[in-house]
Amino acid sequence: MKSLKAYEIIRDMILTGEKLPGSRLILSDLEKELNIGRGPIREALMRLDRTGLVKNIPYKGAIVETPPTRKEILHIYDLRIDLEVKLGVEAMGNITDHVISNLKDLHVAMQQCPENHHHLDSSFHFLIYDASNLPHLCNIARILRSSVENFLNIYRREKEHCVKFNKEHGLIIEALKKQDTEGLQKTIAVNVESGLEVIKETYGTIFRVAH
């Protein structure tokens, strides 16, 4: 599809710094640069808006947003590990058989590495964290996730990543069933760190953006 090709080209231009934060993405200019029609380019810009890399502003057009810096991403993941481990431990005593059953259903749904794997992954974690009965901390965890999760979803997850995440999710379920606090802490931490590894592996270019 031409819109997908346009999306990938513009995405990589932004991540490599060829299109700088704050610069306008003008349809006529992109049409000449990419040798692709305006329709597919317009669709690509709408998709990029959903990822957070581009912001479509009425009467102004598409503007390149500022991606998180390497330093920000590393700090965010440090905070996420600490907070999500705490939420998991707090939730463990409140996890019912019904919640375990729902976690298993999500786990099964993720086995085929569907396109919405990332969304199912987030649902899996917050099904656990919401059981902590600490709604304000859960909201903070959601904000921390949302600050990078769009960038996690810029590239389709490779099968090897899905397999790794799915294995870790299985260990999280087992730790919850056994009420294994230490095991749960370890598996949640490892799983969150795996997300950071995906970022490093799939678009290390973002770490070369000046910060």
How many CA atoms lie less than 13 Å away from 121 in the CB half-sphere? 27
Q: Mind listing the pLDDT tens digit for each residue in 18-76?
A: 888 889 999 999 999 999 999 999 999 998 887 778 888 888 889 998 767 778 888 99
Longest dimension (CA), the chain: 60
Element housing 26 (H / E): none
Q: How many CB atoms lie within 10 A of CB 23?
A: 12
| Per-residue model confidence (pLDDT) at position 181 | 97
* Domains located in the chain, CATH noted: 2-64 (1.10.10.10), 70-208 (1.20.120.530)
For residue 181, the number of C-alpha atoms closer than 13 Å in the C-beta half-sphere is 5
Q: Is the pLDDT reported for residue 81 higher than 80?
A: yes
Tens digit of each residue's pLDDT (9 = 90 or more) over 150-171: 565 555 567 888 899 999 999 9
Using a CB cutoff of 8 Å and minimum separation of 24, what contacts does 27-30 make?
A: 27/61, 30/6
Report the range of poorest mean pLDDT among 36-40, 50-54, 132-136, 177-181: 50-54
Q: How many other CB atoms sit within 10 Å of the CB of residue 4? A: 12
Residues in the chain: 211
Q: What is the pTM of this model?
A: 0.73
- When pLDDT is averaged across residues 105-131 and rounded to a whole number, the result is 92
